[in-house]
């Protein structure tokens, strides 16, 4: 089957993540007086970050102990930490085989897009540092704060389809490293949903969500697209 569009997640899927997203989450919570485990943060990777914060707060606090202002404060702290990190990280780079895979897919006439649980302000720093803004590396980028609801809802994929003139979701492939990446692709009706083990989730964790394929390296993807 020929696919028109592949939508990739960013951190942990196409962009190296050394655990700094998790670190920034936990540091932002700690500033608000809450010690959060790394494992609990991993469970909300891929979500719109302000929603991820609320999910964690619900686990650690009673409802009367937090409000929208506290959620906003933690989110602002997280955003500032991530912007500072990505502006200065000397190791920021695409994950192995990503650019080579993009090149192979382009030769097949496939459009390449990115979506992310990050807001636009964080995403633009990453794109600028990687030089992906103006080089034609990707055809579209949609962030979680640019649609009405983030993952696992399908709105980011639908917006990308609209931007790139792709009418059938069955012609779209979703690739990501978290449970909500998989669910997003399924809810969007993507023709193929591929999970990768290069990010927050292990193969054993990803199996539960029943992606069409689970791969350990991006180099495995082109063979699945043919």
Domain that holds residue 56: 20-88
What is the pLDDT of the chain when averaged over all its residues? 96
Largest pairwise CA distance in the chain:
55
pTM for the full model? 0.93
pLDDT digits (tens, 9 = 90+) for 147-187: 999 999 999 999 999 999 999 999 999 999 999 999 999 99
Helix (H, G, I), strand (E, B) or coil at 23: helix
103 and 65 within one domain: no
Pairing of the two strands 192-196 and 111-116:
unpaired
CATH of the domain at 47: 1.10.150.240
* C-alpha separations of 63 from 32, 33, 66, 81 in Å: 15, 16, 6, 26
d(CA 217, CA 226) in angstroms, rounded, equals: 17
Give buried/exposed letters for 17-40 (b at 16+ CB in 10 A, else e).
beebbbebbbebbeebebebeeeb
108 and 170 within one domain: yes
98 and 80 within one domain: no
Number of folded domains that form the chain:
2
120 and 72 within one domain: no
pLDDT digits (tens, 9 = 90+) for 75-96: 999 999 999 999 999 999 999 9
Residue 134 pLDDT greater than 80, yes or no: no
Residue 133 pLDDT class (50, 70, 90 cuts) = confident
């Amino acid at each position: 089957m020929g696919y028109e569009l592949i939508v990739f997640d960013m951190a942990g899927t196409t962009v190296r993540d050394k655990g700094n997203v998790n670190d920034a989450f936990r540091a932002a919570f700690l500033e608000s007086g809450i010690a959060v485990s790394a494992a609990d943060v991993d469970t909300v990777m891929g979500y719109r970050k302000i929603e991820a914060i609320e999910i964690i707060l619900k686990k650690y606090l009673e409802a009367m102990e937090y409000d929208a202002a506290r959620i906003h404060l933690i989110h602002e702290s997280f955003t500032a930490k991530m912007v500072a990190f990505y502006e200065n990280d000397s190791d920021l780079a695409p994950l192995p085989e990503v650019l080579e895979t993009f090149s192979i897919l382009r030769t097949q006439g496939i459009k390449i897009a990115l979506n992310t649980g990050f807001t636009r302000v964080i995403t633009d720093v990453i794109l600028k540092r990687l030089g992906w803004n103006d080089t034609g590396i990707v055809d579209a980028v949609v962030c979680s704060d640019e649609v009405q609801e983030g993952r696992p809802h399908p709105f980011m994929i639908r917006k990308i389809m609209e931007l790139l003139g792709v009418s059938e979701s069955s012609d779209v492939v979703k690739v990501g490293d978290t449970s909500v990446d998989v669910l997003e692709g399924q809810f969007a009706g993507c023709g193929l949903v591929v999970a990768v083990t290069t990010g927050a989730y292990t193969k054993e964790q990803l199996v539960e969500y029943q992606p069409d394929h689970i791969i350990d390296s991006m180099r495995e993807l082109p063979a699945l697209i043919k």
